[in-house]
Amino acid sequence: MLITATDNPLVRHLATLHEVAGRRASGAFLVEGRRAIAGFLAAGWIPNHLLIRSGSAVPEGWPEHVEVGERALAKISAATTPSGYLAVFALPAEVPLDRAAGGLVLAGVSDPGNLGTLLRTAAAFAVGQVVCLGGADPFAPKVVQASAGALAAVRLHRLAGCSELAGGAPLCALVPRGGHGPAALAAGARWLVVGGEANGLAAADLACCSELLTLPMPGQAVESLNAAVAGAIGLWELFGRRAGVPAP
């Protein structure tokens, strides 16, 4: 089957997945790029739809797909330069949150690239639970693209505030100054709490944290790090290094 028309019903429907309202109404989200799609397929996810640019190579073992022409592809894709590989997956069902196990908390991280990078880093260090407090939609196309398929490896939860994690593992706020260095924190399960790019952590969320982590920065020219960079280093220090993961 080859779809070329931009007014094709499937094309028009999939284009609505660019927006959060469309994703919620359809219960589905869009994944673009061969590598990202492969990550979901390898994790056992079954696509609702799989679309490949007409004439492009079909990776071995991929399920049945529909071929699409350039104009139809451009309408569906949220990318400036479509890769030619698109898939639609159902939004995952909510799973119980294990408060005692800890994980990553992203509080108001609104930049899609930063959010996707942090999700990818969490997956790399086997941090299975990620809690989002506001911020960007983790299933937005730019976030999914930045995560490079890592969404398939983490369990996402959306909460209103850090207070909803009370009674579980301790919360450790990543702050630019005034906290302990990584070596001063005892081993054990915890929630690493990373604030948004512009304003950091809200006072209410910071008040829930019994630990403060500040990354040593001997360089004097930089006051603070980008949220994704700081969060990635924090994840390495608290989860990667302590689990014996080799340094990158």
Which residue type is seen at 229?
Answer: V
Please indicate, yes or no, whether residues 142 and 187 belong to a single structural domain of this protein. yes
Residue-wise pLDDT for 176-189, tens only, equals 889 999 989 988 99
Describe the chain by its helix, strand, coil percentages, rounded to 5.
35, 20, 45
User: What's the CATH code of the domain at 34?
Assistant: 3.30.1330.30
Residue-wise pLDDT for 196-234, tens only, equals 887 889 999 999 999 999 998 776 655 667 899 999 999
**Structural domain boundaries, residue 109:** 103-243
Q: What is the pLDDT of residue 224?
A: 66
Please indicate, yes or no, whether residues 73 and 113 belong to a single structural domain of this protein. no
Residue-wise pLDDT for 16-41, tens only, equals 999 999 999 999 999 999 999 999 99
What is the pTM (predicted TM-score) of this model? 0.90
Please indicate, yes or no, whether residues 153 and 218 belong to a single structural domain of this protein. yes
Please indicate, yes or no, whether residues 72 and 143 belong to a single structural domain of this protein. no
Continuous H helices in the chain: 9-15, 20-26, 34-42, 70-76, 112-124, 141-147, 203-207, 227-235
Which of 65, 90, 115 lies at the terminal end of a domain, its last residue? 90
Which of 55, 90, 125 lies at the terminal end of a domain, its last residue? 90
Residue 26: which of 14, 9, 35 has the closest Cα? Answer: 14
